Each structure stands twice: as structure tokens, then as C-alpha cells.
Amino acid sequence: MGAAPSEKFGKVSHKVPMLSLGNVFSDSEVRDFLDRIRRFLGLAEDAPLEITAEPKIDGLSLSLRYERGRLVSAATRGDGAEGENVTANVATIACIPNEISAPDFPDVLEVRGEVYMAAKDFQALNERQKAEGSKVFANPRNAAAGSLRQLDAAITASRPLKFFAYAWGEAPALPAETQYDVVQAFAHWGFPVNPLMKVCQSVNDMLAVYASVEENRATLGYDIDGIVYKVNSLELQRRLGFVSRSPRWAVAHKFPAEKAVTVLEGIEIQVGRTGALTPVARLKPVTVGGVVVQNATLHNEDEIERKGVCVGDWVRVQRAGDVIPQILEYLPEKRPEGTEPFVFPEVCPVCGSHAVREVNEKTGKLDAVRRCTGGLTCPAQAVERLKHFVSRNAFDIEGLGEKQIAAFFADGLVRSPAEIFTLERRDKVSLKRIANREGWGKRSADNLFKAIDARRSIGLDRFIYALGIRHVGEATAKDLAKTYSTFEAFQTAMIAASDAGSEAYADLTSTDGVGVVVAGAIIAFFDEQHNRDAIAALLDEVTVEAVEAPDTSGSSVAGKTVVFTGTLTKMTRAEAKAMAERLGAKVAGSVSKKTDYVVAGADAGSKLKKAQELSVAVLSEDEWLALAGGE
Ligand code: IVH
């Protein structure tokens, strides 16, 4: 989880994105991870497959760029594509080399790893802070983050930060062929690496590392929250590639969540941006795994009933990493007399509209979620949509966070996304200037307007994500942006797609990550006149950048539509698809006039026949590989 790149620091765009890891929680999910890899690569169940296992450090990730042996830049993860430039601060961290003179150190290398604070250093720092009347940190991770993101590098220098190297970014010449050996080379060049990293030959080896590290967790002297498994062979890593924002070749096996017992003092209903009524538990504050917890989610009304919890009950709560704390159960023996079951409201607590549970079209069952029917007339939905609109992975406007949006909305200053961009014009002629508001001044108001102006041009993926369409998260927004390239093309296609028999609908549902539910949500969104009006007003103020085609220059299959059929021998179907997409080709499931190539393996059947009927070019697997080339 990276912090938003702040304007306080310059930005660094990561040439190789900084990815995140998928999580697994059980032995069987670890087995599934290995099975998936074997299936993708077409490896037999008993073929050797080495996996490294190492602790997952609970700190913040950092990318260190070295040119000719000198540290030239250090950046936080940020949103994975762009982080904060913290070079001056990192230069003060004792265990990170500023210069490396080893003759075998490459010309260019980005070393990545985790900055963290050791447990005893954290305690000492907090005691010092308390004595000085300064801020006390909730946990070592927050202390490390706060220490690294200091404007004054002298403060960072006074904080005992440490580092483990475990990955890399741009690295034109790697020193070895395996994950393990590259990390050993890092150690040889003077980077601290984790001593508990092991190479495993089997799932049993992996689970043994997990068990033994977990047992010793409390004695390590730094916080870890699981074990990371990675395919050891870099060649296999390359073949496996990525899904969305995580590598297929690595996964985090998290330790079980920490638990505590406290009192459920109340249940509050929050209304989200899509109108969902979510019950939130207000708890008597309790420390769980080093963090004070006072809220927990109860998901929906069925969940409250299933758990049987009542206000006043003692409850067991758990917290797993960054996940919102959860209520597991109540303790019946401690239930006070006279507790009454919670009655879930049937009207929206914010706007008073009916709140209903829709019948799911596919399953015919009642939706678990009760929704306010007020739409944008419900202030809660409107304000939540605005908060989403300015959030980190959407418009990300510096100085315009949830708090400011809520205040501007309450005072009628900003009621729609477009109004964010007309704020300055209206402010100039207003009697109640923003600069005169409580907590604001001339400078902060000017900075806000500058930050808003800086976002008048925005990438298509962020723009689509910012619209807050149900089921359209960041990954889907990226996929849609890639498919449609411009907002105009996207909107036109989405309006056309409301006819389920149209080509536009077929195109939409063949986009990665878009099934019937997601497609339905997007179409419903564009169906509503008020959404189209809000977009039109917004487009008067902002420019949506077209998506640049990925750099597939040199690829002879970029832009081509390919269909694979029959049994391939050199790679699995999944691998062939991933490779084609990496080279800029589109992989379709059925043959049509639009198909450029059909790659036919052994025993190809009806698709091959169809290709011949339509005179689509048919290639053998080898011909395809020769054409795709390079890889
Ligand atoms: S590997 C492409 N190894 O976990 C894979 N990550 O959710 C890159 N982390 O942002 C990550 N310890 O901050 C890797 N031994 C370890 C790690 C580790 C902690 C963090 C890292 C990353 C997050 C992934």
C-alpha cells in the first residue's frame, strides 16, 4: 500500500512498475499457486520447480537507482507507476551504500527492497518522541514511513532506518540466472539481504520455512507479516509474467490475523458511493497487533444476523495487515441482560429514500446489500462519488482530500466533479472566498487552484476509474482504456453496447476482466442521462489523454487479432496468450472476418475449418513463433 506521491517531494516515474503481490492464507492456496504455475508453464506434477521463500517485511518498499556505481535516485513505491523522490533522505540511511566500487557492479541497476525500523529502535524513538512532546507512532511501519518522508533530511538521518534488498527494477545486466543468486550478488555488493531466505524444492519445504519463521517471528527484532514465495528461475519468471499488477511467479503467504476482545458500543450505517448501506461497528478502542482499533466492518444485514451480534456484546475482532478489522463472533457468556437484536433501517439514514435489496437477476436471490434508491439526490452518494473522484488512483488532487470535499459539498461549493474545476472562477466573484474559510489562507487556496489546474489533463484509465462506475476498479479501468484508447470511443461504444446483440456489446464483453456483470454496470451507468450530463460538463473543463499504444515497435504482430486452436507443444495456451498480448496482439476466442491469424496446433478442429472458410491466414506453432519472433 503506497502513499500518494506528495507534492512535497519531486516525482520519479518507475521505468519498471513496482508491483504488489497476491496474498494466500492457507496451505491449500499455496498448493494452488504451484499448480497454477505448473499449468501455465505446462510442467508435469513431478518436474523440478525451485521456489525461494523469505520473510515479508512489514515496512515500505523503495527503489534505489545506481548509475556507474553511484546512488543517483531513491523513490518510494507511490502508486506503483510513480513514486516520491526521497534520494536526499535515503542517502542518510547507514546501511544503504551510496557508492559501490566493485568491478562487477553493473553500469545501471535499480535495487529494490524494504525500508523498516527494528522493534527496539521503534520503542526508543517513541520514548524520545513522548519526552519531547512530539508525535508517537502507532507501529514500526508508520514510524519508518514518517521518518523517510521528512522534508528535512537531517531528521531522517536521526532516525534508525534499515533496509533489506529483495528485488530489482531496471537491470539491463543481471549478475545471475536465479532469484536467489541475484540476491546473493546484492549481498556481495554490500546490500543487506534477509538471512532467512531459502531455496525450496517442494511445497513441503515451503510450508516448513513458513512454520519455522512464524514460530520465531517474535524474536526476529523486526515486524514481518508473512512469507513471500518466488519462482527461483528468472527465465521461468519471465515466461510467467504478470496478471494485472502482480507477478504470476510470486505470492505472499500471510500469517494468521491477530485477534482481541472488546465491547461493541454501537452500529452505525454508512452510505457509500453506490448507495450501499454498510453497517460499521463502533468498538471500545482495543490494541490488536500493535494498532488501536475502534471500528470494524459488519458487511451487511445478513452478516449481523448470521453472527447474532447485538450492541453491548463483547466481541472478538481480528485485524490482518491493511485489511479493515472484522468482527468474528460475540461471546455469549458475557452478553449483558436485556440486549436487543439490531434492526437494520429500511430507509437511507442520510436522505430518507427507501433502501431496498434488489433481486439478483442471475441467481434470483435477494442481494446481500441494501441500497439507497436516492441516486445522486442522496447527499451521501454524491459526496462519496466526489471523494472517489479525487482519490489517489483517480484525479488525486493535492490538498483536496475527503475532508475538504465533504466541507465544500456541505457548503454547496462543489456538488459535481465539474464544479471542482470551476471552483476558482466562482471563488473570484464570491463573497465568501475560500481563502477566508477556517483552516485556509491565501496561499493554501492558491495552491489548491494550482493543484486543480495541474489535473486538467488526465490519463484515460484514471478518468474511467474516477467515474466511480460499479465494479470498475483500477485494473478494469486500465483494461478498458487500453481497449478503447480515447474517451470518445469508449463512451460511444458503451452507449451502443446497450443493445446486447450489438458488436459493441460483444467487444465489451471480450475485454479482459469484463464479464456480464461488469458490462451491465458500465452500460447502466452510461444509460443514465444525469451521468452523461455530468461527464459532458466535466469534459468542458478537462482533457482526457488518449492511451499511447504500448511500445511494441519491432513486433510484427502488434495490433493483430490472433486465435489459438488445437494442442500447442512449445508452450501452454495461457502462455501463448500472455506472450501474444505482450507483443501487442489481441487474442480472441473465436474466428471471424476480423481475425488476422489462426495458430493451429495438433488436432485443431472447427476453428481451423472456419478459418479456411473465411480465408484467414493459418499458421503452425513454429510459423507463429517465427513471426512473433524476438522472444
Ligand atoms: S517482492 C514483484 N519480497 O510486499 C514482486 N516484496 O505486496 C515485488 N514486501 O510492495 C515484491 N517483503 O513492499 C517482495 N521479501 C519481499 C517483501 C516484499 C515485503 C512488500 C513490498 C511489496 C509488497 C507486495
pLDDT tens figures, 508-554: 988 877 888 899 999 999 998 888 999 999 999 999 999 876 666 67
417 and 544 in contact (C-beta within 8 Å)? no
Instruction: Please give the number of the atom of ligand 1 that sits closest to the Cα of 250.
Output: 5
Ligand 1, from 23, 56, 249: best to mutate by most atoms within 8 Å of Cβ? 56
Instruction: Output the pLDDT for position 627.
Output: 86
- 141 CA to centre of ligand 1 in angstroms: 14
Hey, what's the cell of 324? 479493515
Q: Report residues whose beta carbon is within 6 angstroms of any ligand 1 atom.
A: 19-21, 54, 56-57, 61, 77, 114, 166-167, 228, 247, 250, 252
* Grid-cell match 530489482, residue found: 168
Question: Is beta strand 291-297 parallel, antiparallel or unpaired with respect to 277-288?
Answer: antiparallel
Contacting residues for 533 by C-beta, under 8 A, at least 6 apart = none
Report which ligand 1 atom has the smallest distance to the Cα of 21.
7
Task: Return the best residue to mutate from 1, 19, 21, 220 for the ligand 1 pocket (most ligand atoms within 8 A of CB).
Answer: 21
Can you tell me the distance from the alpha carbon of 399 to that of 6, in angstroms, rounded to the nearest whole number?
10
Alpha helical stretches, state H, 56-202: 87-90, 119-132, 140-148, 153-157, 179-188
Cβ atoms < 10 Å from Cβ of 586: 21
Angle (deg, nearest 10), helices 203-215 and 27-41: 140
CA–centroid distance, residue 148 to ligand 1 (Å): 18
* Angstrom distance (rounded) from CA 233 to CA 547: 33
Atom of ligand 1 nearest to the CA of 197: 15
What's the gap in Å between 62 CA and the centre of ligand 1?
A: 10
State which ligand 1 atom lies nearest to the alpha carbon of 246: 2
Q: What are phi and psi of 447, to 5 degrees?
A: -60, -40
Give the residue among 166, 162, 182, 180 at the shortest CA–CA distance from 106.
Answer: 182
Q: What are phi and psi of 438, to 5 degrees?
A: -65, 135
CA distances from 625 to 264, 603, 621, 622 (A): 62, 19, 6, 5
Report mean pLDDT in 10-residue bins for the chain, 631 residues. 55 92 95 96 95 97 97 94 93 95 96 96 92 85 91 89 97 96 98 98 98 92 95 97 91 91 96 93 88 89 94 91 83 94 95 88 84 87 95 92 94 95 96 92 95 96 94 91 93 95 89 85 91 94 86 77 89 86 83 89 89 92 84 48
Q: Which residues contact 597 (CB under 8 A, 6 or more apart)?
A: 557, 560, 561, 562, 563, 616, 617, 618, 619, 624, 627
Report the pLDDT value the prediction gives residue 346, as an integer from 0 to 100.
Answer: 95
Task: Check: CB of residue 460 under 8 Å from CB of residue 481.
Answer: yes
56 is catalytic: yes
112 C-alpha to center of ligand 1: Å? Answer: 9
Amino acid 24: pLDDT: 95
| CA 389 to ligand 1 centroid distance, Å | 28
Crossing angle for the helix pair 516-527 and 487-496, to the nearest 10 degrees: 100
What pLDDT is stored for residue 581 in this prediction? Answer: 84
Q: In which element (H, E) is residue 48 found?
A: none
Give the pLDDT confidence score for residue 552 in this predicted structure.
Answer: 64
Note the pLDDT of residue 401: 92
CA–CA distance, 207 with 224 (Å, rounded to integer): 16
Considering the candidates 56, 162, 230, 586, report the single residue annotated as catalytic.
56
Q: Which residues contact 545 (CB under 8 A, 6 or more apart)?
A: 457, 458, 459, 460
Specify which residues 587 forms β-bridges with.
Answer: 562
Q: How far is the centre of ligand 1, averaged over its atoms, from the C-alpha of 36 (Å)? A: 20
- Is 249 within 8 Å of 240 (Cβ atoms)? yes
Residue 599 CB coordination number (10 Å): 28
Nearest CA to ligand 1 atom 2: 19
**Which of 33, 57, 249 has most ligand 1 atoms within 8 Å of its beta carbon, as the pocket-test mutant?**
57
Give the list of residues 6+ apart from residue 211 with CB closer than 8 angstroms, or none.
Answer: none
Residue of the CA atom closest to atom 21 of ligand 1 = 61
Number of Cα atoms under 13 Å in the Cβ half of residue 402: 6
Atom of ligand 1 at shortest range from CA of 55? 15
Instruction: Give the other-Cβ count within 10 Å of 258's Cβ.
Output: 18
pTM: 0.66
Four-point Cα dihedral 81, 82, 88, 94, nearest 10: -30
Element counts in the chain: helices (H) and strands (E)? 23, 26
> Shortest CA distance to 112 belongs to which of 173, 63, 54, 164?
63
